[in-house]
Amino acid sequence: MLDTARRVATPEGIEITLRVAGPVPRALGYLLDLVIRIAIMIAIAISVAVLGRFGLAVFLLSAFLLEWLYPVIFEVLGGGATPGKRAIGLIVLNDDGTPIRWPASLTRNLLRALDFLPFMYFIGYCSMVANRDFKRLGDLAANTLVVYREQKPTTARIPESEPVAPLVPLSLSEQRTLLDFAERSGRITPDRAAELAEIVSPLASGQNGTTAVDQIVGIANHLVGRR
Amino acid sequence: MKQAAFEARYLEEIERFEKWLDLGKRKWRVPNTEDSSALQTGDVPAAYRHLCQLMALARDRQYSPDLVDRLNHLVLRGHHVLYGPAGGQRAKLFAFLAGGFPAVVRSERKLVLTAAILFFGPLLLLLTAVQFYPDFVLHFVSPAQLAQYEEMYDAENVRLGQRNSDDNIMMLAFYIWHNVKIGIQTFATGLAFGLGSIFYLVFNGTIIGAIAGYLTSAGHGEPFWSFVSGHSAMELTAIVLSGAAGLKLGSALIAPGNRTRKSALVEAAKPAIRIMYGAALMFLIAAFIEGFWSPLKIFTSQIKYSVGFILWTLVLAYFYFGGRRRGA
The mean pLDDT value for A91-107 works out to 87
A33-67 pLDDT, tens per residue?
Answer: 999 999 999 999 888 888 777 788 888 888 888 88
Where residue B113 falls among pLDDT bands split at 50, 70, 90?
very high
Q: Considering only residues 26 to 55 of chain B, which have any Cβ-Cβ distance to chain A shorter than 8 Å?
A: 48-49, 52-53, 55
Mean pLDDT computed over A22-43: 92
Instruction: Render pLDDT for B142-165 as a digit per residue (tens, 0 to 9).
Output: 888 888 888 777 777 777 776 666
Chain B contact set for A172 (CB, 8 A): 62
Mean pLDDT of B273-288: 90
Domain stop point among B53, B82, B111: B82
Whether residue B131 sits in one domain with residue B48: no
Angle of CA points B139, B141, B142, to nearest 5° = 100
What pLDDT, on the 0 to 100 scale, is given for residue A204? 64
Alpha-carbon distance of B268 to B253, in angstroms, equals 9
Cα B247 from Cα B244, distance rounded (Å): 5
Least confident span in A4-18, B113-127, B266-280, B303-317: A4-18
Instruction: Report d(CA A48, CA A92) in Å as an integer.
Output: 34
Q: Would the CB atoms of A13 and B52 count as touching at under 8 Å?
A: yes
Question: What is the arithmetic mean of pLDDT over A101-112?
Answer: 88
Name the average pLDDT for chain B: 85
Lowest mean pLDDT: which of A19-28, B47-56, B86-95?
B86-95
Instruction: Report how far residue A125's alpha carbon sits from residue A121's, in angstroms, rounded to the nearest whole number.
Output: 6
Residues B50 and B159 in one domain: no
| Beta-carbon separation of A182 and B170 below 8 A | no
Q: Same domain for A33 and A123?
A: yes
Query: For residue A166, what pLDDT is reported?
Result: 78
Contacts of A96 in chain B (CB under 8 A): 83
Helix B195-215 vs helix B109-132: crossing angle, to nearest 10: 30
Q: Report pLDDT for B114.
A: 95
- pTM flag (> 0.90): no
Distance CA B203, CA B118 (A): 9
The domain boundary, picked from B25, B60, B82, lies at B82
Read off the pLDDT of residues B232-248 as tens digits, 9 standing for 90 and up. Answer: 999 999 999 999 999 99
Q: Is A212 found in the same domain as A143?
A: no
Whether A154 is covered by a domain: the verdict is no
B36 and B128 fall within a common domain:
no
Nearest to A53 among B167, B177, B249 (CB): B167
Could you tell me if A159 and B66 are in contact, meaning their C-beta atoms sit under 8 angstroms apart?
Answer: no
Asked if pLDDT for residue A162 goes beyond 90, the answer is: no
Q: How confident is the model at residue A1 (pLDDT cuts 50, 70, 90)?
A: very low
Q: Is residue B39 located within the same domain as residue B96? A: no
Region of poorest pLDDT, from A11-20, A59-68, B36-45: B36-45
Question: Do residue B200 and residue B307 come from a single domain?
Answer: yes
A166 within a domain of the structure (yes/no): no
pLDDT tens per residue across span B64-110: 777 888 888 888 888 888 887 666 666 777 788 888 889 889 999 99
A44 touches chain B (CB under 8 A): no
pLDDT for A69 equals 87
Which residue of B lies nearest to A156 if distances are taken between CA atoms? B66
Mean pLDDT of A144-169: 79
Q: How confident is the model at residue B166 (pLDDT cuts 50, 70, 90)?
A: low
From the candidates B53, B92, B166, B273, which should be mutated to test the interface with A, based on the most A CB atoms within 10 A? B273
**B56 at A interface, C-beta within 8 A:** yes
Residue of B nearest to A138 (CA): B188
List of chain A residues whose C-beta atoms are within 8 Å of the C-beta of residue B52:
10, 12-14
Specify whether the CB–CB gap between A58 and A48 falls below 8 A.
yes
CA A129 to chain B, closest CA, distance in angstroms equals 16
Together in a domain, A108 and A45? yes
- Burial (CB count within 10 angstroms: exposed 0-12, middle 13-18, buried 19+), residue B298: exposed
My answer on whether A108 and A193 are in the same domain is: no
- B108 and B46 in a common domain: no
Whether ipTM tops 0.85, in short, is no
Task: Say which amino acid occupies B206.
Answer: T
In a domain, A25, yes or no: yes
- On whether both B167 and B217 belong to a single domain, the answer is yes
Interface check for B2 against chain A (CB to CB < 8 A): the answer is yes
Q: Which of B53, B180, B266 sits opposite A143 (nearest CB)?
A: B266
Q: What is the pLDDT of residue B85?
A: 67
Instruction: Give the residue, B246 or B8, on which the prediction is more confident.
Output: B246
C-alpha closest to that of A87 among A32, A38, A40, A150: A32
Which of B125, B317, B152, B111 has its CA nearest to residue B233? B317
| Beta bridge partners of residue A16, listed in sequence order | A8
pLDDT of A198 > 70? The answer is yes
Domain count for chain B, please give it. 2
CB-based contact A173 B62, cutoff 8 Å:
yes
**Are residues B124 and B207 located together in one domain of the fold?**
yes
Range of the domain at A22: 5-148
Query: Is the same domain home to B265 and B289?
Result: yes
Q: Are residues A86 and A128 in the same domain?
A: yes
Q: Which domain holds residue B109?
A: 89-326
Residue window 258-287, chain B: list those with CB within 8 Å of chain A. 262, 265-266, 268-270, 272-274, 276-277
A165 pLDDT above the threshold of 90: no
- Domain boundary among the residues B52, B82, B112 is at B82
Instruction: Name the residue among A17, A183, A225 with its Cβ closest to that of B4.
Output: A225
- Tens of pLDDT, residue by residue over B196-239, are 999 999 999 999 999 899 888 888 878 888 888 888 999 999 99
Q: Is B167 on the interface with A (CB under 8 A)?
A: yes
How would residue B328 be classed by pLDDT, with cut points 50, 70 and 90? very low
Residues of chain A numbered 59-98 and touching chain B (CB < 8 Å):
59-61, 63-64, 68, 76, 96-98
Chain B residues 200-219 with CB within 8 Å of chain A: none
Q: At what angle do helices A23-48 and A122-129 cross, to 10 degrees?
A: 160
Out of B170, B181, B277, whose CB is closest to A56?
B170
Are B80 and A99 within 8 A, CB to CB? Answer: yes
Residues B41 and B33: beta-carbon distance below 8 Å: no
Specify whether B179 is located in the same domain as B320: yes
Q: Please report which helix (H) or strand (E) contains residue A16, including its range.
A: strand A15-19
A29 and A97 inside one domain: yes
Strand partners, A20: A147
Q: Are residues A136 and A202 in the same domain?
A: no
Residue B265's nearest CA partner among B182, B192, B183 is B192
Same domain? A9 vs A99: yes
Residue B167 to residue A152, Cβ atoms within 8 A: no
Number of structural domains (chain A) is 2
Q: Do B173 and A16 touch (CB under 8 A)?
A: no
